[in-house]
């Protein structure tokens, strides 16, 4: 065995006391708890030596919450293990892979880049996009669509009202949107889905989630594990620097007023100009059968990716760290090992194929270097200029034990719903439509290229070019020679989850399913990003437990596969805590893109149906947030009923009976009717008494249960009504030219001048 390198430091832990171990952990930035430090001490006592700084740096990455899911794994197993494996799931690695049609598959993945975006919003968001693209690439998928669910504090909060060290929500929002715009547009992948919400709960810790959908021939599906002893480990892509060092440790603790100064170096530097040829070179190598397994270098850098790659195959590794191409001089071995510099992949290649693979990467002008080999297990051996820098059991490092933390249910008070009988329908309608969470997202969507690659059939904005409005989901056509489409949508219900975590979890899944049904897609799969606070708080972990139960319950009832997901803990700080915020990137299958439906009204004289049962609960609603009302009961979920209703809508759509469809979600009937009118350039005459609740205000503001507004030609009404049970649909009114009218039976109503309202709605957001 080689002698130990003079350029690695030995750190004394074998004789250290518990207090000494904690002092060492703090000095080295390991972020390990007392039990983990004792486990480390025991390991090295058995080895009969002290650890090197390279070894401890690698352990700290792999044992971080961000990489290991050590607090969440027991809850994820309990919730999702009851979902039987579905034949349509082909892979569950760096991204979930599902059947699409004969010979083809698609991949989905969503993750968070919250902490980096709070410190450096442009770079944090951009590298979030870069990382999610690599996750899809790592299973053989060509990225074809991006999603960006975003949560910020209110835009009108100025510096004087913010805690020390916290950036203004407007600065964060503008920087994040610019980062997503520049990276996604330059790499040539359309951003087609997402959401933007504003709430005081996200002032300290904004949420920047990023999702990606990929497409691939099934023969290209490649595992995230090494294949055989003797295979070469080829590092491809960008050069390695000091950016992103300690990124996963940063993501595994709460933000403080010192995060800006202490952790800016943990934010990676993205390079979309390198990413685009990297994607092409990898895909060409996959198609030629030159790659036997691969991982992307994300959180934890080379340490995490290479360790997980070989451990999944039951192997070890030998890597010469000095061969890693570096963009700057003076990097220490431990820095090379854990740097999270972007645009990098590690490929497992048979020795006979190395030269052909390197030739492909040279032709694309992408660095590619043979840095090591797959060995018999169980050790990983790291060298620095031929001398030892690290040697420890791979499984010990990359597969730490779970932490079984305690849970404690919160005491949640339940109060009666407010009396809305005194609300003037016209004023309430305007309040809901012009709320910040309802305003047109067109200014954001217009800076993203959602047309690149030419696959987008149903676009993010529906309706006329002169007055576009919001839709429910987007539809892409993965293959030009096939009419089969893929619906893509994003859903989140943090306020419902805050009121009732399990019911809220189901409601998030219901929202995703409604969005897909609305465009003519049958729900197929979702991937989730679970954004929560500090897992060391038993209340937070209890919320996590019940939200995941709700997600699994909704998935089971609605037929969703759940092939991948992400957990983001420690979102909060400075005494603030985010609400439970599970975010879904969901997909559905559209059998014929020619039958896909949009949300904009199509023709005066058509009938407007309210489909689905209405309930009066306001818990988690936009109105409740506007009025500062918490403790209200949330609508009781009914995922099985939604599935039956959705299938009826799909059947009606196949027969060409649906002119437009829009689901009822945030802002209730008021926002739904407004968006349909805005997009089509028509008004409507609606009788709110037909909704089936006590008052006009409740009819406009209530958001439960799973309901849709559907536009149908009068000549198709009889056939449409036969397709749905009488208890599940009622005629609300008609599409008309000009302004909109709200009535309450024969007791008068309100006229809504849609033109001026649309102008205020379209321009009110004020970003980017």
Asked if residue 69 is part of any domain, the answer here is no
Residue 259 has pLDDT above 80, yes or no: no
What pLDDT digit, counting tens, does each position of 665-698 carry?
999 999 999 999 999 999 999 999 999 898 999 9
In the beta sheet, which residues pair with residue 197? Answer: 151
What pLDDT digit, counting tens, does each position of 519-570 carry?
999 999 999 999 999 999 999 999 999 999 999 999 999 999 999 999 999 9
Mean pLDDT of all residues in 659-663:
98
- Among the listed residues 46, 4, 11, the one whose alpha carbon sits nearest the alpha carbon of residue 32: 11
d(CA 537, CA 534): 6
Asked if residue 171 is part of any domain, the answer here is no
Alpha-helical segments (H) within 576-636: 622-626
Strand ranges in 154-249 using DSSP code E only, listed in sequence order: 191-198, 207-217, 232-237
Q: What does the pLDDT read at residue 746?
A: 74
Q: What does the pLDDT read at residue 252?
A: 60
Q: What does the pLDDT read at residue 111?
A: 95
Give this prediction's pTM: 0.95
Residue 265 has pLDDT above 60, yes or no: no
Q: What does the pLDDT read at residue 165?
A: 86
Asked if residue 765 is part of any domain, the answer here is yes
Mean pLDDT of all residues in 269-276:
90
In the beta sheet, which residues pair with residue 384? Answer: 387
Q: What does the pLDDT read at residue 2?
A: 67
Asked if residue 640 is part of any domain, the answer here is yes
pLDDT classification of 84: cutoffs 50, 70, 90: low
Q: What does the pLDDT read at residue 612?
A: 94
Q: What does the pLDDT read at residue 708?
A: 97
Asked if residue 582 is part of any domain, the answer here is no
* Residue that finishes a domain, picked among 29, 62, 95: 62
Answer yes or no: are the C-beta atoms of 142 and 287 closer than 8 Å: no
Asked if residue 675 is part of any domain, the answer here is yes
More confident: 299 or 360: 360
Asked if residue 734 is part of any domain, the answer here is yes
Residue 704 has pLDDT above 90, yes or no: no
Residue 247 has pLDDT above 60, yes or no: no
The per-residue b/e assignment along 15-52, b for 16 or more CB within 10 angstroms, e otherwise, is ebeeeebbebbeebebbbeeebbebbbebbeeeeebbb
Q: What does the pLDDT read at residue 85?
A: 62
d(CA 106, CA 347): 21
27: containing domain: 18-62
d(CA 506, CA 518): 18
Catalytic residue IDs:
66, 113
The pLDDT mean for the chain works out to 93
Answer yes or no: are the C-beta atoms of 82 and 552 closer than 8 Å: yes
Q: What does the pLDDT read at residue 412?
A: 85
d(CA 253, CA 647): 44
Decide: helix, strand or coil at residue 766: coil
Sign of CA dihedral 740, 664, 195, 489: negative
Q: How many domains does the chain have?
A: 2
Longest Cα pair distance anywhere in the chain, in angstroms?
92
Decide: helix, strand or coil at residue 41: helix
Asked if residue 679 is part of any domain, the answer here is yes
Answer yes or no: are the C-beta atoms of 489 and 508 closer than 8 Å: no
Residue 264 has pLDDT above 60, yes or no: no
Decide: helix, strand or coil at residue 371: strand
Q: Which of 16-20, 245-249, 285-289, 419-423 has the lowest mean pLDDT?
A: 245-249
In the beta sheet, which residues pair with residue 155? Answer: none
More confident: 622 or 258: 622
Q: Which of 162-176, 237-251, 423-437 has the lowest mean pLDDT?
A: 237-251
Residue corresponding to tokens 């352990």: 59
Residue 625 maps to which CATH number?
Answer: 3.90.650.10
Answer yes or no: are the C-beta atoms of 113 and 208 closer than 8 Å: yes
């Amino acid at each position: 065995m080689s002698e130990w390198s003079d350029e690695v430091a030995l750190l004394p832990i074998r004789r250290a006391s518990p207090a000494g171990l904690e002092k060492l952990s703090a000095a080295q930035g390991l972020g390990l708890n007392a039990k983990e430090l004792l486990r480390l001490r025991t390991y090295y006592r058995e080895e009969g030596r002290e650890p090197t700084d390279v070894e401890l740096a690698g352990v700290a990455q792999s044992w971080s919450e961000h990489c290991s899911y050590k607090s969440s794994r027991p809850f994820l197993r309990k919730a999702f293990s009851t979902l039987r494996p579905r034949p349509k799931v082909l892979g569950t690695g760096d991204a979930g892979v599902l059947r699409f049609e004969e010979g083809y598959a698609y991949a989905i993945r969503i993750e968070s880049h919250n902490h980096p975006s709070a410190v450096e919003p442009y770079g944090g968001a951009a590298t979030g996009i870069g990382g999610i693209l690599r996750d899809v690439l790592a299973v053989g998928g060509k990225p074809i669509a991006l999603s960006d669910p975003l949560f910020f504090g209110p835009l009108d909060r100025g510096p004087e009202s913010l805690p020390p060290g916290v950036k203004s929500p407007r600065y964060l929002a503008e920087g994040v949107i610019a980062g997503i715009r520049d990276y996604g547009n330059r790499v040539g992948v359309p951003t087609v889905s997402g959401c933007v919400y504003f709430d005081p709960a996200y002032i300290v810790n904004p949420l920047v989630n990023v999702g990606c959908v990929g497409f691939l021939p099934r023969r290209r599906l490649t595992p995230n594990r090494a294949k055989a002893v003797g295979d070469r480990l080829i590092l491809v892509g960008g050069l390695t620097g000091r950016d992103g060092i300690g990124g996963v440790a940063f993501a595994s603790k709460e933000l403080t007023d010192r995060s800006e100064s202490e952790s800016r170096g943990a934010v990676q530097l993205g390079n979309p100009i390198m990413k685009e040829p990297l994607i092409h070179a990898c895909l060409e190598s996959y198609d030629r059968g030159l790659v036997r397994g691969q991982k992307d270098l994300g959180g934890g850098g080379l340490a995490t990716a290479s360790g997980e790659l070989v451990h999944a195959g039951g192997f070890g590794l030998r890597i010469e760290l000095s061969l890693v191409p570096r963009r700057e001089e003076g990097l220490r071995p431990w820095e090379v090992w854990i740097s999270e510099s972007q645009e990098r992949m590690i490929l497992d290649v048979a020795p006979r194929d190395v030269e052909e693979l390197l030739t492909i990467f040279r032709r694309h002008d992408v660095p590619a270097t043979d840095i090591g080999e797959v060995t018999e297990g169980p050790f990983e051996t790291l060298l620095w200029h031929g001398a030892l820098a690290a040697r420890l059991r791979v499984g010990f490092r990359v597969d730490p034990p779970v932490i079984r933390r305690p849970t404690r249910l919160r005491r949640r008070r339940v109060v009666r719903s407010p009396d809305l009988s005194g609300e003037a329908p016209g004023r309430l309608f305007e309040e809901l439509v012009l709320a910040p969470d309802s305003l047109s997202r067109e200014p954001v969507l217009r800076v993203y290229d959602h047309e690149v690659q030419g696959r987008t059939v149903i676009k993010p904005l529906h309706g006329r070019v002169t007055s576009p409005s919001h839709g429910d989901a987007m539809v892409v056509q993965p293959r030009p020679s096939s009419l089969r489409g893929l619906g893509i949508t994003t859903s989140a219900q943090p306020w419902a989850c805050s009121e009732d975590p399990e019911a809220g979890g189901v409601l998030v899944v219901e929202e995703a399913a409604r969005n897909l049904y609305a465009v003519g897609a049958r729900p197929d799969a979702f991937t989730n990003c679970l954004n929560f606070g500090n897992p060391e708080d038993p209340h937070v972990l209890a919320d996590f437990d019940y939200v995941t139960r709700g997600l699994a319950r909704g998935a089971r009832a609605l037929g969703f596969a759940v092939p991948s997901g992400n957990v983001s803990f420690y979102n909060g700080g400075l005494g603030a805590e985010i609400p439970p915020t599970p975010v879904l990137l969901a997909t559905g299958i559209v059998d014929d893109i020619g039958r896909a439906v949009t949300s904009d009204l199509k023709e005066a004289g058509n009938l407007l149906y309210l489909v689905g049962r209405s309930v009066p609960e306001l818990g988690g609603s936009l109105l409740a947030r506007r009025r500062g009302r918490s403790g209200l009961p949330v609508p009781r979920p009914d995922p099985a009923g939604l599935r039956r209703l959705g299938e009826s809508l799909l059947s009606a759509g196949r027969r060409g009976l649906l002119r437009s469809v829009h689901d009822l979600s945030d802002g209730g009937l008021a926002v739904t009717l407004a968006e349909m009118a805005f997009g089509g350039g028509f008004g409507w005459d609606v009788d709110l008494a037909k909704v089936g609740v006590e008052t006009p205000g409740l009819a406009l503001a209530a958001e439960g249960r799973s309901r849709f507004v559907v536009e149908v030609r009068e000549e198709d009404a009889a056939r449409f009504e036969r397709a749905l049970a009488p208890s599940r649909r009622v005629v609300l009114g008609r599409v008309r030219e000009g302004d909109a009218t709200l009535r309450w039976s024969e007791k008068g109503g309100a006229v809504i001048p849609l033109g001026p309202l649309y102008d205020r709605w379209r321009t009110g957001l004020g970003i980017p």
